[in-house]
Amino acid sequence: MLEATPLGDGWTLRHDSEPIPATVPGCVHTDLMAAGVIPDPFLGLGETEVAWVARRDWTYEREIGGSPGQEQTDLVFDGLDTVAEISLDGRLLGTVRNMHRSYRFDVTGLSGRLSVRFVSAYAEAEAVRGRVGERPAAYAEPYQYLRKMACSFGWDWGPTLVTAGIWRPVRLERWSTARIARVRPLVTVEEGTGVVELAVDVERTRVEAPLAVEATVAGVRTRAEIEGAGGVVRLRVPDARLWWPRGYGEHPLYDVELKLLHGEDALDVWRRRVGFRTVELDRRPDAHGTGFTLVVNGERLFARGVNWIPDDVFPSRITRERYRERLEQAAGAGVDLVRIWGGGIYESEDFYDACDELGLLVWQDFPFACAAYPEEQPLRGEVEAEARENVVRLMPHPSLVLWNGNNENLWGFRDWEWEPRLAGDSWGEGYYLGVLPRLVAELDPTRPYTAGSPWSGSWEHHPNDPAHGTHHSWEVWNREDYADYRLSVPRFVAEFGWQAPPAYTTLRRALPGEELAPDSPGMLHHQKADDGNGKLERGLERHFAVPDGDFDRWHYLMQLNQARAVAAGIEHWRSHWPVCAGTIVWQLNDCWPVTSWAAIDGDGREKPLYHELRRLYADRLLTFQERDGRLVLAAVNQGREEWRGTLTLRRMSVEGEMLGRTEVELTAGARTVARVDVPRELTPLGPKEFLVADAGAVADSGADADSGTDADSAVVADSGTGADSGADAEGLRALHFPVPDREVPYPAPRFEVALAPGGITVTARTLVRDLLLQADRLDPGARADRGRVTLLPGEQVTIGVRGWKTPDAETARSALYCVETAR
C-alpha cells in the first residue's frame, strides 16, 4: 500500500545567510513575521516597510532520509509559490513556475539536504515580459506574466504583498508495483438513477503486473481489470437522493472509494464524496435579449450570490475552520452561490467540502483577471497543465456548477483601449474561447462553461451588454447615484457593489494609536481604490450632508450607505425575475483590514451590509418599485410554497400621524413575483411623508408620536431610501421615502433602551430611522444578530448580542446610531 509521510516539520528559511525556523505550509512573509524580522504588514503602514521581501530570492531547506521497503519514492508538493528550483543532496530535481499546480519528483534512493530556492516573482515576471512583449492591464504590477495569485500584487481592496513559499503541503510517497495517478469522476443522473463513472490513470513500476480496481458507492460495488495505463469503472445508484442548493432541498453526499489492486493486495486507494444533481445554463435568446439562468435538477434559480476573494493575502494561513466559518456566514446571509473570482486561486478542498455540505453553489473562475495575458510559451503550456489538473481535482464536488474563463478581460479588450495597444499581439482570447472550453468539454462535460464575466455570449454584442449574458455594474459606484441601479434590468448581475469602512474595532486594531479620520494616514493607506474616499463622499452627499470632523458619524453613515446602495440594486433586480436571474454582490470577504466593498471585514466582523444581505436574500421580500410611472409593491417569493396573505399599506407623516390606510390581498406563487399597484391616494407627497407596507401582524402604532403609548409592537423590518423589508416570524415590511434623507425633516429621535435576555430592547417614541447597534463598540468580541432597523413610534425591537461580557443599558445606548442623530 502507498505510504505517505508529511514533510511539514524541520524546515528553515535562509535570511541574509542565517537560517530561521520556517513553517510549511507557509510563506516567506509569515516566517519573517514569526521570527521578528519584519512587522505585521496589516498594521498601520507596515505594508510599505516589507516591500523589499518580494524583491529577494529565498531558500527553504530540510533533511530527508532514505526510502527503504518500497520500489519508488516520490517527493510531492501540493503547491509552490511560484518560481522555484528544487534540489536534493546537490542534485537538481527540477524547476517550477506555477502556483496553481502540484509537482511530483522521483527521489528513489536519494536522501540528504532538500533545498527549494524561490526566485523573486518580480524578476520572473519581468523576464517573461522581456520575452513576450508588453501587455496592458488594469494595474501597473506585472501579474499577467506568471501563473500566480494576481491579487498578491495588490488590488483596489488588497495590499501589495508578493509572496513566495511552500504554500500547500509537501510529503514523501513510497509505493511499489503501481499507484493511482489520477481519477476523473463523472457524476450524473439518468432517469432517477445516480451514475458514477471513474476514469482511472495508473503509474507503474512493473508493466507486466496484473491490476484491477474495485469501486464502491452507496453500497454498490463493482470491479474492473486495468489494462496498460488506465481504465474506466461505472456504478449505478438506483433512487439516488438529489443534491440541492440551499433553500431548495437537502444536500446529501455519498462516499466513493476506489482501490487499486494487485491480486487481492491493495496498492493505493482514492476516496472522495460526491453528490447527484444535474446542472444546466439556459442561455437561450428571448424577447429581452440573451438569458443566463442556472438550472439545477430542472429547477430554474434566481442566484443569490457573493463574490469571493482569497480570505487572506497569505492563503497558507487559512484553516479548514476559517473556511467553514466564513462560508457559514455566507449561508447565514441567505447566499446560495459563491463566485470564486479570477484574481485569486483555485481554493483548497476545505473550501469546496464546506460548500458541498452547506448547499452553496460554486461558480469557479479560471485565474485570469483584469489584464491581457500572453498566449506564448512559457505561459501557454502552464495554463493548459494547471487547467487540466484543477478541473479534474474539483470535479467530485456537487457544489461546483460553472466554469468561467476569466474576469473582465473580454470587456477590457473592447473598452479599456487594449485593442489598439496590443496591435495584434495575443491577449488571452485563445485561452477563453479555445483552450479552456476545449478542456472543460473533454474532461468535465457535466458542467457548463462560459468564456468570461462579463460576457454577452459572442462578439455580436458588447461584452458587458446588460441585455445579453452576464453584466458587471460599476458605473454606478464610480460615477452615479445608487438609485441608478433601477435604470436597467441586466440578465444576470455578476458584479456590483458599494464601499464602506470596516468595523470600528477592526480599524482600532489595524491602526493602533492613530486618531481616526477619513483622511488620516492609516485610513488613506487602508483605502486602495482609486479616488475611493472621493467616491464614498460623493455617493453619500446625494443623501446626507457629509460629516465634518465627526468620525463616528462618518463611519456610521458610510456603512449605512453601503447597505442602502446594495439594497437598491438587489430589490430592483429581484423584482424583475425571471428576466434578471441573479445577483452576485462584490464582495463577501476581505483579505486584510481595509475600506472595501466587503460585507465581512478583514477581521471577520459583519458590516451592516452583511445583515442587509440576510434581508435581501431571504426567500420572501417586499419592495416598492416604480413601473410605468406608478408606484407598485412587489412581493418576491423565492420559496417553494405559495405566499398568500394580507398586505397593509399606511401613508404616514414623519411626526407619526397616519394619513391613510388600506389592506389588499396578496397571492404570489412559488418562485414568482407578484405586484400590487399602490393607490394614488396613498402615494406620499413631499418630504414629510412616507409609505409603509406590512405583510403579517401590524400594530397601529404612531397615531400620536407624543402620546407615550406603549404599543410595543415587534418590528421585523429594516428601512431605507426606496424600499426595504425584513424577514422574521411576525412578517415583512417595506418603506418608501419619496425624497433623500437630507430633505426629510426628521423629528429628534426619542427611544428607550433596556437589557433583555441575550441582548437589548429598544422602544421608539418617535420615528427612528435606520437604527444600528455597532456591537463591537460594546466589546471587541461582541456581535449583533441584526443590522439596521426602522421603528415607528411605539414599536419595539430586540437586538440579540453575543460575546458581550458586561451588559449595561447605558453602554448599549452609546453604541446605537440612527439617521436622525447622524444628520
Query: Are 671 and 620 spatial neighbours (Cβ–Cβ below 8 Å)?
Result: no
Q: Is 408 an annotated catalytic residue?
A: yes
What the block records as the C-alpha cell of 239 is 433512487
Phi, psi of 528 (to 5 degrees): -100, -10
- Residues in Cβ contact with 778 at an 8 Å cutoff, skipping those fewer than 6 apart: 801, 804, 811, 812, 815
Complete DSSP assignment for 713-726: EE------SS----
What the block records as the C-alpha cell of 570 is 438587489
What the block records as the C-alpha cell of 670 is 412559488
Phi, psi of 18 (to 5 degrees): -100, 130
What the block records as the C-alpha cell of 401 is 456548477
- Residues in Cβ contact with 226 at an 8 Å cutoff, skipping those fewer than 6 apart: 200, 202, 211, 212, 213, 260
The three state secondary structure string of 132-156 is HCCCCECCCCCHHHCECCHHHECCC
Neighbours of 437 (CB within 10 A): 16
The conformation of residue 431, written as its DSSP 8-state character, comes to I
The amino acid at residue 669 is: G
Query: Are 75 and 65 spatial neighbours (Cβ–Cβ below 8 Å)?
Result: no
The Cα–Cα gap between 300 and 118 comes to 48
Check 408, 429, 495, 820 and give the catalytic one: 408
What the block records as the C-alpha cell of 634 is 412587489
Angle between helices 608-616 and 551-574 (to 10 degrees): 20
Beta-strand pair 582-585/303-308? parallel
The torsion angle over the Cα atoms of residues 536, 540, 546 and 550, rounded to 10 degrees, is -70
Reference 585, options 601, 598, 568; nearest CA is 598
The Cα–Cα gap between 109 and 71 comes to 9
The amino acid at residue 290 is: T
The Cα–Cα gap between 227 and 208 comes to 10
The Cα–Cα gap between 290 and 450 comes to 13
The conformation of residue 744, written as its DSSP 8-state character, comes to -
Alpha-carbon Rg for the chain, nearest whole angstrom, is: 28
Cα torsion angle, 429, 434, 440, 445, sign: positive
Phi, psi of 483 (to 5 degrees): -60, -20
**How far are the Cα atoms of 578, 593, 614 from residue 574, in angstroms, in the given order?**
8, 31, 14
The Cα–Cα gap between 163 and 155 comes to 14
Cα torsion angle, 233, 236, 241, 247, sign: positive
Query: Are 598 and 617 spatial neighbours (Cβ–Cβ below 8 Å)?
Result: no
What the block records as the C-alpha cell of 112 is 540528504
Cis peptide bond prior to 445, omega within 30° of 0: no
Instruction: Please count the residues of the chain.
Output: 823
**How far are the Cα atoms of 184, 217, 286 from residue 233, in angstroms, in the given order?**
11, 12, 41
What the block records as the C-alpha cell of 346 is 483555485
The SS3 assignment for 364 reads strand
Complete DSSP assignment for 658-701: EEEEEEEEEEE-TTEEEEEEPPGGGS--STTEEEEEEEE----T
The Cα–Cα gap between 188 and 274 comes to 10
Catalytic residues: 408
